Amino acid sequence: MRIGSAPMSRTAVIIPVCNGAATVARTIDSALAQGPDQPSVIVVDDGSFDDTPRILARYGDRIKVLSQRNRGPSIARNAGVAMAPDADYLAFLDSDDVWLPGMLGTMLSALESSPAAVLAYCDVVTVDDEGRTLGIPLIDEDCAHAPTMDDLLTRWWPILTSGAVMCRDAFVRCGGFSEEFSAPGFEDPYMWLRMRETGGFVFVPERLVLYRTIPPLQRMLKYAGGYKIFARLVRQRYGAAGWRLIDETTHAFVAAWGYQGLMALRAGDRRGAREAFSCAMRYRRFDLRTTARWLRTFLPTRAARALSGSFVRQTRTRPELENYFR
C-alpha cells in the first residue's frame, strides 16, 4: 500500500534502546513531532539497567514499550516490527539519533513517487555527544545516488539505519534483520543487501537526521565482531560476487587503521598506535605487515618514530576510506 491510500499513522517507528537514558527522550520526541498524523512509535528496551525504563514510562500511551533481556539491536528491531502487524511502512531510529522536522513525510513521499522502490534513505548531519555539528560529510559525490546491487556488492554503501524508511512487505520477504548479529555492528549493511534483492532504493540528498558518531577507533573495535558474521553471511549468500565486497571492505579497514597507527607512532603516541594496529588485526588477523607494525609499538618512542616516518610521508589514504570511520 502506498502513501496515497495510507496515512503516516500506518508507519511504525522502531527505536531499540539499551541504557540510553541520556539520549532516548530526544530521539522519541523527534519521532512524535513528525506531523499531526503521528506514526506509531515502538520502543524496545533491550535490557537497560539505567534510568531508561523510568524515562519511557513518562510517555504513557503515546508510545508502545516492549522490555526484553539484552539480545542486541537486530532482535530488538524484529521484535518491534512484530508489535506493528498493521504497519505498511517501517523506520528504525537509533536511540541516540534525532530526526529533523519533516523527515518522515519527505521519505514517505520519495517512496510514493517511486512505485518500484522498497526503501528510501537520506543524508545525515554528523554530531558529537553534545549535539555539536562535526561537519563530516557521510555521502560523497561517488555515492550520492541509489545503489545498484552491484554497487552494494562492491563497496560499503553509506546508508544509515536512522535515515532509512522501507516497505514492510519487502522487510518481511527478506526475513528482517539477521538475528545472527547478537551485538551492534554490520547488521544494517547486510540488511540493505537483502532488501535490494526485493526492489530498488531511492536516495534523498537532504540531510534529515542528526547522527551521533563516536570516535572511529572506539567504533571499529566495537564492531569488529559483527564484521566477521557479516563476512561469513555475504560469502554464503553471494558466493564469488560477495568476495569482492569482503575483500574491498577488509582491505579498506586494514589500510585505514594502519595509516592511523603510523600517524600515531610518528606523533609518539605508542598506545594509540598499538590500539589502531590491534583494530586492523581484528579485521585481518594474520596480516604480517600489520603485526610487524604492532610489534614496533613496543620499541622506544624514538626508534618507533624513525621506522614509521618514511612510510607515512609516502602514504596517502584513499578518499573513500574516510567513510569507514563514520
Blockwise average pLDDT, block size 10, the chain, 326 residues? 56 97 97 90 97 98 97 96 96 97 95 94 90 83 94 92 97 96 90 97 97 72 80 94 88 82 84 84 78 77 58 43 42
Does residue 145 sit in the same domain as residue 69? yes
Q: Which of 164, 193, 213 represents a domain boundary (last residue)?
A: 213
Does residue 109 sit in the same domain as residue 167? yes
Q: Which of 213, 247, 282 represents a domain boundary (last residue)?
A: 213
HSE-up of 266 (CA within 13 Å, CB side)? Answer: 13
Q: Which of 154, 182, 213 represents a domain boundary (last residue)?
A: 213
The C-alpha cell that represents 4 in the structure block:
496515497
Three-class SS state of 142? helix
DSSP state string for 65-99 = EEEE----HHHHHHHHHHT-TT-SEEEE--TT-EE
Does residue 165 sit in the same domain as residue 29? yes
Q: Report pLDDT for 4.
A: 44
Q: Report pLDDT for 307.
A: 59
Q: Report pLDDT for 319.
A: 38
Does residue 235 sit in the same domain as residue 140? no
The full 3-state SS of 206-243, as one line of letters, equals EEEEEEECCCHHHHHHHHHHHHHHHHHHHHHHHHHHHH
Does residue 43 sit in the same domain as residue 178? yes
Query: By C-alpha distance, which of 238, 301, 296, 312 is closest to 269?
Result: 301
Residue 128 belongs to a domain with what CATH number? 3.90.550.10
Does residue 281 sit in the same domain as residue 139? no
Does residue 278 sit in the same domain as residue 208? no
Q: Report pLDDT for 289.
A: 83
Per residue in 162-189, pLDDT tens? 999 999 999 999 999 999 998 888 999 9
Overall domain count for the chain: 2
Does residue 84 sit in the same domain as residue 188? yes
Does residue 165 sit in the same domain as residue 183? yes
Does residue 209 sit in the same domain as residue 221? no
Round to whole Å and give the CA distance between 183 and 310: 39
Round to whole Å and give the CA distance between 127 and 148: 29
Residue 97's domain comprises 3-213
Q: DSSP H helical segments within the chain, as ranges?
A: 24-32, 52-57, 73-82, 103-112, 149-152, 168-173, 187-198, 216-266, 270-283, 288-296, 301-314
End-to-end distance of the chain based on CA atoms, in angstroms? 34
Does residue 49 sit in the same domain as residue 154? yes
CB 77 within 8 A of CB 16: yes
Does residue 37 sit in the same domain as residue 128? yes
Q: DSSP H helical segments within 113-163, as ranges?
A: 149-152
